[in-house]
């Protein structure tokens, strides 16, 4: 197996020196194990947190270990009665071309039901994040306004489209005119606002004439500052991620916003709640799989993917992910479909 391992904990944007590439012999299969060949590796913003020893909800990747990540793989050898050679499975084998894992750590995918790559995006963890966070914490009501940033990405695009299924108005925030065009023309958002535009603050006001009832927080930074001024009484804020700060090496410049934020929580009776998606598995997983596969099948929820060819390009692709270089769900094609 060719593996990309974590070589150092990066400061700021992870450079090539954060990684080392090695090729290793894999062990013989033991009972219950399968040998997997990676087809797609998912790149996700949370991986930046795993490259840091700062205290978080999950342990960092140890130096010298393979970088973690969800994968779609083909079974190439099996010593488990539950998996046959040729099965395509969802696994968590990380940044490598092959892996030996217990069969029970894999979930079989049905290539007839949906393209297998969707298990890493709209029908997988990011789609589930949108579904759980929006429905459990955001609770959009018909006629309300839901705002989400990183809106063309796998989480944001699902948030906006699910909000519309629930009868709410969806306003997406994204970087650049092309992403904004896709939001309205292809993903069915009611409005899109470019956060890189010099008129961003005014554009957001124009796109939210009735204020904001749900702000699904994906980014932090200047986007959040602008959104906070538009919130209605009783607004809900599911705090999902703050990707604007994942590579940060210092506290944001300027005055401390915290006192004003706390005062706004009080005076507007806001609900602000963070979450890590797996806390919703017991309560929402089944409904998610059935609702979302139906919506995707019927074209009610659409998705976009960006596929980068070759495991060796994963470090550069990961830098691009945090910078906003990609529009849809970012996947690395590690081996042939």
Cα dist from 111 to 72, 89, 91, 258, whole Å: 11, 10, 15, 48
211: left (phi over 0), alpha (psi -120 to 50) or beta: left
Cα dist from 313 to 22, 38, 41, 127, 179, whole Å: 15, 15, 11, 25, 23
Of residues 87 through 116, those in contact with ligand NDP by CB under 6 A are: none
CB-based contact 224:261 (threshold 8 Å):
no
Angle at 278 between CA 274 and CA 282, to 5 degrees: 115
150 near ligand NDP, judged by CB under 6 A: yes
* Interface residue with ligand NDP, options 243, 301, 314, 331 (CB under 6 A): 243
45 near ligand NDP, judged by CB under 6 A: yes
DSSP E strands in 43-175: the ranges are: 71-78, 88-91, 98-102, 107-108, 145-149, 169-174
179 near ligand NDP, judged by CB under 6 A: yes
Q: How many CA atoms lie within 13 A of 96 on its CB side?
A: 25
Minimum CB–partner distance for residue 275 and ligand NDP (Å) = 6
- Binding part of the chain for ligand NDP, among 29-37, 41-49, 100-108, 137-145 by CB under 6 A, reads 41-49
160 near ligand NDP, judged by CB under 6 A: no
- Binding part of the chain for ligand NDP, among 100-108, 228-236, 269-277, 282-290 by CB under 6 A, reads 269-277
Minimum CB–partner distance for residue 45 and ligand NDP (Å) = 4
- Binding part of the chain for ligand NDP, among 185-193, 227-235, 262-270, 322-330 by CB under 6 A, reads 322-330
Q: At what angle do helices 221-228 and 200-207 cross, to 10 degrees?
A: 50
153 near ligand NDP, judged by CB under 6 A: yes
Residue (of 101, 102, 99, 123) closest to 111 by Cα position: 123
The secondary structure of the chain in percent helix, strand, coil, rounded to multiples of 5, reads 35, 25, 40
Identify which of residues 170 and 244 has a Cβ nearer to ligand NDP in the complex: 244
155 near ligand NDP, judged by CB under 6 A: yes
Residue (of 216, 244, 61, 51) closest to 129 by Cα position: 216
148 near ligand NDP, judged by CB under 6 A: no
Identify which of residues 39 and 330 has a Cβ nearer to ligand NDP in the complex: 330
Minimum CB–partner distance for residue 61 and ligand NDP (Å) = 16
Query: b/e string for 263-296 if b means 16 or more Cβ within 10 A?
Result: ebbeeeebebeeeebeebeeebeeebeebbbebb
69 near ligand NDP, judged by CB under 6 A: no
- Binding part of the chain for ligand NDP, among 25-33, 79-87, 198-206, 321-329 by CB under 6 A, reads 321-329
DSSP state of 17: G
* Interface residue with ligand NDP, options 83, 98, 164, 195 (CB under 6 A): 195
* Interface residue with ligand NDP, options 76, 205, 265, 276 (CB under 6 A): 276
- Binding part of the chain for ligand NDP, among 6-14, 40-48, 98-106, 226-234 by CB under 6 A, reads 40-48
Phi, psi of 156 (to 5 degrees): -60, -40
Residue (of 312, 293, 310, 289) closest to 301 by Cα position: 293
252 near ligand NDP, judged by CB under 6 A: no
171 near ligand NDP, judged by CB under 6 A: no
Identify which of residues 34 and 327 has a Cβ nearer to ligand NDP in the complex: 327
Residues that bind ligand NDP (CB under 6 A): 44-46, 126, 129, 149-150, 152-156, 174-175, 179, 195, 218-219, 221, 223, 240-241, 243-244, 275-277, 321, 324, 326, 330
């Amino acid at each position: 197996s060719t593996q990309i391992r974590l070589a150092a904990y990066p400061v700021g944007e992870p450079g090539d020196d954060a990684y080392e590439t090695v090729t290793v012999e894999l062990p013989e299969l033991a009972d219950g194990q399968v040998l997997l060949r990676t087809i797609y590796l998912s790149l996700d913003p949370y991986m930046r947190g795993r490259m840091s020893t700062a205290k978080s909800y999950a342990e960092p990747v140890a130096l010298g270990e393979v970088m973690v990540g969800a994968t779609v793989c083909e079974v190439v050898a099996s010593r488990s009665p539950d998996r046959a050679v040729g099965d395509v499975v969802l696994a968590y084998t990380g940044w490598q071309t092959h892996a030996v894992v217990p069969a029970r750590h894999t979930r079989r995918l049905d290539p007839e039901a949906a393209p297998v790559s969707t298990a890493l995006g709209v029908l997988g963890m990011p789609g589930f994040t949108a579904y759980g966070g929006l429905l459990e914490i955001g609770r959009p009501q018909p006629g309300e306004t839901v705002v989400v940033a990183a809106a063309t990405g796998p989480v944001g695009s699902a948030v906006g489209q699910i909000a519309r299924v629930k009868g709410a108005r969806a306003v997406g925030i994204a970087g650049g005119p092309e992403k904004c065009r896709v939001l309205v023309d292809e993903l069915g958002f009611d409005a899109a606002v470019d956060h890189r535009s010099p008129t961003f603050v005014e554009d957001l006001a124009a796109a939210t004439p009735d204020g904001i009832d749900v702000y699904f927080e994906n980014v932090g930074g200047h986007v959040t500052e602008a959104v906070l001024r538009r919130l209605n009484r009783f607004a809900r804020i599911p705090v999902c991620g703050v990707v604007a700060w994942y590579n940060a090496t210092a506290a944001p410049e300027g005055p401390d916003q915290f006192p004003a934020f706390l005062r706004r929580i009080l005076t507007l009776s806001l609900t602000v709640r963070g979450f890590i998606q797996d806390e919703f598995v017991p309560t929402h997983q089944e409904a998610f799989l059935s609702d979302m596969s139906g919506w995707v099948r019927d074209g009610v929820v659409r998705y976009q993917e960006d596929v980068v060819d070759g495991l060796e390009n994963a470090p550069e692709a990961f830098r691009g992910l945090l910078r906003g270089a990609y529009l849809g769900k970012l996947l690395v094609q590690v081996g042939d479909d």
